[in-house]
């Protein structure tokens, strides 16, 4: 007798160049949102504030063919962001990170980045519930556990791409902070895409249900046999 097997869960990948829309009318904005497979993914840009508090403050993100770039107010004070200045995610002067939130808990599997320098280390954190990024410090993030991915190589503007595996986050998360490695000063990359899976509900697989049914029927038959003995 063949048992029914539940289908494998396929990963959902969101490409930030082709999918989603920025919150502002133009190319710049601090909010990119996209819904796919029933999950709404929202991306915002953050950097460490320059007021000495150590908290994060909002920053501009912009869409490029190589992924999402970022510009904090300390890099280019001109209105409109960093169209002609630094626009990679970097840790020059201030550490920059993306906050990715999910409308339902997901298992994040990998991110895709394109390098903008010879060093493009990435760090990430994740957790459940909600995260108030403006009231968060690096120490608070590290309390959730930090994971680092070290990448180096010869890279010109977007010439090298790397997959950052996020499997260290073994449990479903509602938010992911993804950015450069804190404390360094030479990391630069664009955030191209993210992949995740939606955990299946905790229900028995069809094959398990079939076995339960067979077992129940056998127990009922045995009970009837004893009652007539």
- Joined together, the tokens standing for residue 82 give 């960093």
Q: Judge if 155 and 72 occupy the same domain.
A: yes
pLDDT tens digits, one per residue of 66-82:
889 888 777 755 545 56
Total domain count, the chain: 2
Structural domain includes residue 1: no
Structural domain includes residue 215: yes
Kind plus residue range of the DSSP H or E element containing 11: none
Q: Judge if 160 and 104 occupy the same domain.
A: yes
Q: Judge if 25 and 97 occupy the same domain.
A: yes
Quick one: pLDDT at residue 26?
Answer: 47
Structural domain includes residue 4: no
Confidence of residue 107 (pLDDT cuts 50, 70, 90): very high
Three-state secondary-structure class, residue 173: strand
Structural domain includes residue 20: yes
pLDDT tens digits, one per residue of 21-41:
877 644 556 789 999 999 999
Residues 6+ apart with CB under 8 A from 3: 207, 210, 211
Residue with the larger pLDDT of the pair 152 and 60:
60
Q: Judge if 161 and 125 occupy the same domain.
A: yes
- Taking the model in full, what pTM does it have? 0.80
Structural domain includes residue 194: yes
Q: Phi, psi at residue 13, to the nearest 5°? A: -120, 130
Structural domain includes residue 3: no
Q: Judge if 205 and 136 occupy the same domain.
A: no
Q: Judge if 98 and 209 occupy the same domain.
A: no
Three-state secondary-structure class, residue 210: helix
Residues 6+ apart with CB under 8 A from 124: 111, 146, 147, 149, 164, 166, 169, 176, 177, 178, 179
Cα separation, 70 vs 90, whole angstroms: 8
Supply the range of the domain harboring residue 211. 201-229
Q: Judge if 212 and 139 occupy the same domain.
A: no
Burial bucket for residue 42 (CB in 10 Å: 0-12, 13-18, 19+): middle
* Interior/surface letters 177-195, b for 16+ CB within 10 angstroms, e for the rest: bbbbbbeeeebbbbbbbbb
pLDDT tens digits, one per residue of 90-106:
887 789 999 999 999 99
As a dihedral over the C-alpha atoms of residue 216, residue 221, residue 223, residue 229, rounded to 10 degrees, the angle is -170
Cα separation, 107 vs 218, whole angstroms: 39
Q: Judge if 30 and 143 occupy the same domain.
A: yes
Quick one: pLDDT at residue 20?
Answer: 85
Residues 6+ apart with CB under 8 A from 119: 151, 152, 184, 186, 187, 188
Quick one: pLDDT at residue 91?
Answer: 84
Quick one: pLDDT at residue 151?
Answer: 72
Q: Judge if 56 and 153 occupy the same domain.
A: yes
CATH number of the structural domain spanning residue 190 = 2.60.120
Q: Judge if 136 and 75 occupy the same domain.
A: yes
Residue with the larger pLDDT of the pair 159 and 180:
180
- Look at residue 202 and tell me whether its pLDDT is greater than 60: no
Three-state secondary-structure class, residue 217: helix
Residues 6+ apart with CB under 8 A from 193: 13, 14, 15, 16, 67, 111, 112
Q: Judge if 19 and 49 occupy the same domain.
A: yes
Structural domain includes residue 6: no
Percentage above 70 pLDDT, the chain: 72
Confidence of residue 175 (pLDDT cuts 50, 70, 90): very high
Q: Judge if 52 and 89 occupy the same domain.
A: yes
Structural domain includes residue 59: yes
């Amino acid at each position: 007798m063949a048992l029914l097997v539940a289908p494998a869960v396929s990963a959902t990948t969101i490409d930030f160049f082709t999918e989603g829309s920025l919150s502002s009318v133009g190319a710049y904005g601090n909010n990119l949102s996209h819904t796919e497979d029933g999950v709404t993914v929202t991306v915002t840009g953050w950097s460490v504030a320059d007021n000495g508090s150590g908290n994060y403050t909002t920053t501009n993100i912009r869409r490029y063919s190589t992924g999402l770039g970022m510009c904090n107010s300390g890099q280019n004070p001109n209105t409109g962001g960093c169209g002609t200045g630094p626009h990679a995610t970097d840790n020059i002067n201030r550490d920059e990170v993306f906050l990715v939130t999910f409308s339902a808990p997901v298992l994040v599997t990998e991110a895709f980045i394109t390098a903008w320098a010879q060093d493009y280390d990435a760090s990430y954190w994740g957790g459940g519930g909600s995260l108030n990024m403006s009231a968060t410090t690096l120490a608070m993030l590290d309390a959730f556990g930090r994971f680092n991915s070290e990448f180096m190589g010869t890279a010109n503007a977007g010439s090298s791409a790397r997959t950052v595996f996020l499997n260290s986050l073994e449990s479903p998360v509602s938010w992911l902070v993804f950015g450069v490695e804190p404390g360094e000063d030479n990391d630069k990359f664009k955030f191209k895409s993210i992949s995740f899976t939606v955990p299946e509900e905790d229900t028995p697989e069809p094959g398990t249900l079939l076995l339960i049914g067979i077992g129940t029927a056998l127990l009922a038959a045995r009970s009837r046999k004893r009652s007539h003995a």
